Amino acid sequence: GTNIGAEVVRGVLGTVSLEFLIGADPDIYLATGGAHLGDRSGLVLGSEIPADTAAASFRGLLGAPGFSSLRAVEEGRAAGIWHLFNDTPVHIALIEYLARSFHPDLFADLDPAETLAEIDRRFLPVSVPGTWWVGPDE
């Protein structure tokens, strides 16, 4: 795929305007979020975040003016992920989630929740409950 943000974001971090996003009308929409966005009506995900809270914030985001008309949203190819997942080795579970979400025929055998649970059981000194990703059916 093509990262539409690469056209306008010239560094490691950046944002794109809603107008740019609507004009690009991507095949897949991937939002990032965290607990810190709760008071700004953003996508709320992460440690100690209940699944229903994450799902409600995702629905709110996708239902906002502009987002709801995106082809990716209309066709169920949108997902939200915890913003800091990429800073940890357990992001392998995130990669599995994205692969299964956007290419279900190719990756039906992946179970990212089980991968995360196994990492939790075998390698983490303490369990870290939370909601790390959310999709249109969650």
Do both 108 and 58 map to the same domain?
A: no
What is the pLDDT, as a whole number, of residue 12?
Answer: 82
Is residue 37 within 8 A of residue 82, CB to CB? The reply is no
What is the pLDDT, as a whole number, of residue 54?
Answer: 97
Answer whether residue 39 is part of any domain. yes
Answer whether residue 9 is part of any domain. no
What is the pLDDT, as a whole number, of residue 137?
Answer: 80
CA-based radius of gyration for the chain: 15
Residue range of the domain that includes 41: 15-82
Point out the residues of the chain with pLDDT beneath 70.
none
What is the pLDDT, as a whole number, of residue 38?
Answer: 86
What is the pLDDT, as a whole number, of residue 2?
Answer: 83
Is residue 5 within 8 A of residue 14, CB to CB? The reply is yes
What is the pLDDT, as a whole number, of residue 123?
Answer: 92
Is residue 42 within 8 A of residue 61, CB to CB? The reply is yes
Residue 80 backbone dihedrals phi, psi, to 5 degrees: -125, 140
Of the chain, the percentage scoring pLDDT greater than 70 comes to 100
Do both 77 and 99 map to the same domain?
A: no
- Classified as helix, coil or strand, 33 is strand
Answer whether residue 4 is part of any domain. no
Write the CB contacts of 127 (distance below 8 Å, at least 6 apart in sequence): 120
- Return the number of other C-beta atoms located less than 10 Å from residue 60's C-beta: 14
Cα–Cα distances in Å, from 1 out to 38, 84, 102, 123, 124? 30, 22, 11, 33, 33
Answer whether residue 116 is part of any domain. yes
What is the pLDDT, as a whole number, of residue 53?
Answer: 96
Do both 63 and 108 map to the same domain?
A: no
- Tell me how far apart the alpha carbons of residues 88 and 79 are, in angstroms, rounded to a whole number: 19
Structural domains in the chain (count): 2
